[in-house]
Amino acid sequence: MKWILYGLFASLLFFSFAYPAMSASNQAIHWGFKKGSEGQRAEAGQELDKLLAENGAFYKGSSKEKVLYLTFDNGYENGYTASVLDTLKKEKVPGAFFITGHYLESAPDLVKRMNKEGHIIGNHSWHHPDLTQVSDEKFKEELALVKKETARLTKQKEMKYLRPPRGIFSERTLKLAKEEGYTHVMWSLAFVDWHTNNQKGWKYSYDNIMAQIHPGAVLLLHTVSKDNAEALPKVIKDLKKQGYRFESLDDYRKKQKRASS
């Protein structure tokens, strides 16, 4: 039941609206954007672009390079993450996995493998709450628990990237995360892929990715999806044929630092 609710909450990811919260600076924003198509980049609009940039957050890279950033959300394990990792290893592609407390407790061996094979482990909070609806203290605790347990299991002592649960954030949570040393990583390519009882075949995943792909895309995929795991090898190979290359979130940050220096 817990993870059925997780899926229902995840369905909010594709709507862009706000509702009153604790204060004006904590007005909750549900991440949304105009999808990319025919190589044109996804667009969230000037207001959101400005808010993210002011707080060091991002959802896409440069339009000048055919570079892609592959990220995954891991709320719970459904038997397909090992296959995803096999593909990334074979194709020499870096990934970023945003994990929850439940994932750390239920799939520690996979977390260790992510780290061992050079992938970034990002923070998706311990309990997967709407972070705009918790206190500053609770916000910091949610992140600290994930960071601490990840460090205990792996050699990754730092945790630099945050993906807010359900795609909900606010000016307050952006600032809090930045103060805690985190970069919010949103996304510019996604689709409904998390309904485990309604998988539609590998081509559904493949077609959705290829239709939205664009230079600088940050892809969000859920590893609970059988479709994603089966489509990923062909997706990566075909995108490489189109001249795209895959880089890590660390590569993106290095480019940003060079550009601002």
Q: Which of 119, 184, 214, 222 is catalytic?
A: 222
Selection from 105, 101, 99, 59 nearest residue 81 by Cα: 99
Please, which residues have CB within 8 angstroms of residue 82's CB and are 6 or more apart in sequence? 110, 113
The Cα 91–Cα 70 span in angstroms is 13
Q: Which pair of structure tokens corresponds to residue 92?
A: 């020499």
Contact present, 121 and 111 (Cβ < 8 Å): yes
Q: Catalytic residue at 73?
A: yes
18: three-class secondary structure by DSSP: strand
Q: Catalytic residue at 222?
A: yes
Determine phi and psi for 11, rounding to 5 degrees. Answer: -65, -15
- Listing from the earlier edge strand, what are the strands of the sheet with 168-169? 18-19, 28-30, 168-169
Question: Please, what is the end-to-end C-alpha distance for the chain in angstroms?
Answer: 49
Q: Which of 73, 130, 193, 227 is catalytic?
A: 73
The Cα 181–Cα 254 span in angstroms is 15
Residues marked active site are found at: 73, 222
